[in-house]
Copies of this chain bind each other. A is one copy, B any other.
């Protein structure tokens, strides 16, 4: 039995952590803390969480009494909070972007300096590629949703592609944009409509490039990434197109992908001719990947889906926490989406 706290429990990732952990016998959910929403009943914000108490103020000393703290705040608060918790000997899974990148890359893509450059990057928690490090880490930086989905589908074949030609088109459900209300998130504006956003400058681009290089053991490529908002709430699809490296064909590509994930419960490589759909993984920690090659153009099209709030956020955070706490990695996580 381990005790955990969630900071930023007013946000979608925080609330999803509650959903994933509430029925666990081996986890005791302690404090649910938030900044501006402190004092409000959780049920005011989340009608699915009807019996989960009231949001507490953020109190580092109190948080540090838990075995592990999930930090699901914005970057700014996380930069200060995570080192304080670590210094107090508390293990942390940081779902913000605060500790995912080297400080200089962070500054370039986020347009502001990192408050504590020496603390970043922490152990990068793309679980399937970092089990040993995560298991022993004090602080794990949980990857972003677009990045998780793209990297899982690119890392096993990074050296089979001409990464200098890589173009990634991202398609995310609206929950990726968070709980804040705005014109852009008004149901009457988004329903039945698609559009791109953050064109030619999305922050996840640097995270993809950095970790594609490190974990793929290739020179970090310079890629094009264009995210799009979908008229759906959960689910994320990346469509990656790149020229094949010399001498590579579709079978070699799919075989490399399939071999890498043969023993991974949460990642499935689909058979030739099938394409993943986001709804197959909604609510689950699964990632489905497909590989196709157009011989006419010598390009590969690699598609990958996750639930942005689960494998793309809270689910992977639980997967990492399970490792850190010595529990079975998949505890409390499903591989089966809520379909239809």
Given A48-B337, A174-B187, A282-B338, A192:B195 Cβ within 8 A: no
Chain B residues with CB under 8 A of A215:
none
Name the residue on B nearest A250 (C-beta). B200
CB distance from A106 to the nearest CB of B (A): 15
Residues of the B chain whose Cβ atoms lie less than 8 Å from the Cβ of A183:
45, 179, 181
Interface 9-residue window, one of A78-86, A218-226, A319-327: A218-226
How far is B233's CA from A195's CA once the two chains are assembled, in angstroms? 15
CA distance A318 to B76 in the complex (A): 45
| A171 pairs with B194, CB closer than 8 A | yes
Using known A-B contacts A50-B288, A239-B226, determine if residue A340 contacts B297 with beta carbons closer than 8 Å: no
Using A194-B237, A201-B294, A239-B169 as known contacts, say yes or no to A189 and B228 having CB atoms under 8 A apart.
no
Known: A12-B340, A179-B183, A228-B239. 20 other contacts (CB 8 A): A19-B334, A48-B280, A48-B281, A50-B268, A165-B165, A173-B192, A174-B187, A181-B182, A187-B187, A188-B340, A195-B305, A196-B301, A199-B303, A200-B292, A200-B293, A224-B299, A224-B301, A226-B241, A226-B301, A230-B231
Among the 9-residue stretches A67-75, A123-131, A270-278, the one with 4 or more Cβ atoms under 8 Å from chain B is: A270-278
CB neighbours of A297 from chain B (8 A):
222-224
A293 / chain B contacts, CB cutoff of 8 Å = 200
Query: Is A47's beta carbon under 8 Å from chain B?
Result: yes
Q: Taking the complex as formed, is A316 at the interface, i.e. its CB lies under 8 A from any CB of chain B?
A: no
Q: Find A187's partner among B165, B233, B335 (CB 8 Å cutoff).
A: B233
- Report the separation of the CA atoms of residues A279 and B191 in the bound assembly, to the nearest whole angstrom: 9
Asked if residues A193 and B232 are in contact (CB atoms below 8 Å), the reply is: yes
The count of identical subunits is 4
Chain B residue at minimum C-beta to C-beta distance from A296: B222
Question: Do B179 and A232 have beta carbons less than 8 Å apart?
Answer: no
A143: B residues at CB distance < 8 A: none
Q: A12-B188, A296-B222, A338-B338 are in contact. Are A241 and B275 (CB under 8 A)?
A: no
